[in-house]
Every structure is written in C-alpha cells, then in structure tokens.
Structure 1
C-alpha cells in the first residue's frame, strides 16, 4: 500500500486577499448599479421651468398680500343636491356684492371628474350653483373678481353625503 497524503485545505494569504478584493468588488458594482438606476429614474429635476415657477411664486405672494389688504373673508359649504354655496364678507362684516365667482371642484386624489362652474349671486354676498352628482370629498378652488379688479382666491375641502 502506498501512503496517500492527506490534502486538507489551507487558508493562505492569497485566499484572504482574493476574498477581500471580491467582497469590495461586489459592493462597488452594486453601488454603481444603484446609482445608475437612481439617476435614470429621477434626475433631480423638480421643474422644467424653475425660473418661471419662481416668478409665478413671487406673483402669488404679491396677490396674497393684496388679498390680505382687502380684508375679505369667504365661507364655503356643501349644500343639498350638489350645491356649492359661498358667502363673502368684508372687513366690517358686510356682504361683498357684485363679484364674478369662478369655482373648480376636483377630487383630492385624482383629476378625473373635475367640474368648473360660475357661481351667480343669489343674495347679497351669497353665491351658489347646483352642480349635481356630487358625493364624497371634493377640493374647491375659487377665484372672485369685483368690478374694480380686486381678486380673491380661496381653497376648501367640501364633503357631500
């Protein structure tokens, strides 16, 4: 019989080095892959027109300041049969009459079913319109103008049964 040498695995420096390099190579490849996927799916661009958005924001701030100087207050509520009712009062609590009121209703989570309407004045300072077919929660955005050009904007969530 011949003696067969027992060949046990021995961990030497080259094995440790190759494991160490392989580990960091896998980490680097995964990081590069995730970085490439992140950049492709979201390039970091929030708006395609950032300058114009900034100008519009400044105009919105100016409009809100002018609206605050007016001192008008608006109260909106959901009426029966899909009616939208809005009342306007001035700083002294008197009704604001003669307004042209445009309303937009849309669902909070989707743009489908959006409704636009003009609300005629039904009583001094009271504006309403029946839109019909409304149930559940809707976001109301309204814009009111008077004859002198004053502008008032408001938003409110309304709920119909």
Structure 2
C-alpha cells in the first residue's frame, strides 16, 4: 500500500450514536415547540360551561329558526378603517334596528377582541369607523329591535392591509 492511498470512511458506533441523537433531538425539539405554541396561543374554550350550553341548545335553535323565517339578510363589509353592515328584507327593503353591535374576535386568542356599536346611516346601513388590524377575524353581529333580536350572525372574514 502506498502512502498516497486514501483511507476509506468507516461508519462506526459513534457515528450511529450521533445520527440517533440528532434524529430524536430534532423530533423532541419540534414536539416541545408545538406543545408550547398550542398552550400559549389558544385557551381551548368555546363555551364556559358545556352543561349549560347543552341545556340552552334547543331554545337557541328555535330562536334562530324564527329569525331566519323573517327573511332578513345582512351584508357585512370590513376594511382596515371600519365596518359597514346593511340589513335588508327580500326585495331590497331596508330594515331599521334599534341597536347593532359587532363583536370582533380572532380565531385564535382573545387579546385583540373588541366590540363596536354601529350607528345608523339610513337605508338599513349601519357603520362604525375604527382601525381594524389586518388578518383573520370572526365578526359576530347582533341587531335588535324592541329588545328582540332580529339578526344574529357570525362571519369569518379576512381584512387585507390595503
């Protein structure tokens, strides 16, 4: 054998240990990161008390059926500068409500949630001006007349930064 001959690589037990530690180290690091992000970003609560929510289900369902039978429809438009909400009956007949409240919720987390009271602008249009951060929102709108809910809807929207 000459002095110029290269020694070939030999995969040893130490190499295998390094591969195993690297492999499982990455898996463990990813799992801990995902667990931290999951527990720190969303409370997981949909309702505060599931038993009470289950007892109220039939009443809420009947109220929604009654509300839908009126034919009232709402049209929501949200921009970074505010919200425009129009209430109409079939045939483009405007609906007058005593109060319209919009509750903005992020799909994950509660730190950015807020409510807006919309003011009437005529012809069934209700508006509120406020800076709204771009991103995904769930906008829950409730309109009432004479203390009775005439429209209650929730829409998932995306507000662009433009």
Q: After TM superposition, is the score higher than 0.5?
A: yes
- Shift in alpha-carbon separation, 1:124–1:53, aligned structure 2, 3 A: same
Name the structure 2 match of 1:82. 81
Trace 1:28-39 onto structure 2 (pairs within 5 A): none
CA deviation after TM superposition for structure 1 residue 51, in Å:
4.5
Task: Give the structure-1-normalised TM-score.
Answer: 0.63
Q: Based on CA coordinates, which of the two structures has the bigger radius of gyration?
A: 1
Instruction: Identify, as 1 or 2, the structure richer in strand.
Output: 2
Check the 8 A contact 2:82/2:128 in 1, yes or no: yes
Task: Give the structure-2-normalised TM-score.
Answer: 0.63
Structure 1 unmatched runs, 5+: 1-46
**Cα deviations by residue, 1:51-83 (Å, 9 ceiling, x for unpaired):** 42222111110111111121100010113x430
CA–CA separation in structure 2 for the residues paired with 1:106 and 1:48: 16
**Aligned Cα root-mean-square deviation (Å):** 2.1
Q: Does 2:65 align with 1:65?
A: yes
Structure 2 unmatched runs, 5+: 1-46
**Cα deviations by residue, 1:98-135 (Å, 9 ceiling, x for unpaired):** 34101100111111111111111112101110121421
Per the alignment, in what secondary structure is the counterpart of residue 120 of structure 1?
Answer: strand
- Shift in alpha-carbon separation, 1:135–1:54, aligned structure 2, 3 A: same
Corresponding pairs, count? 114
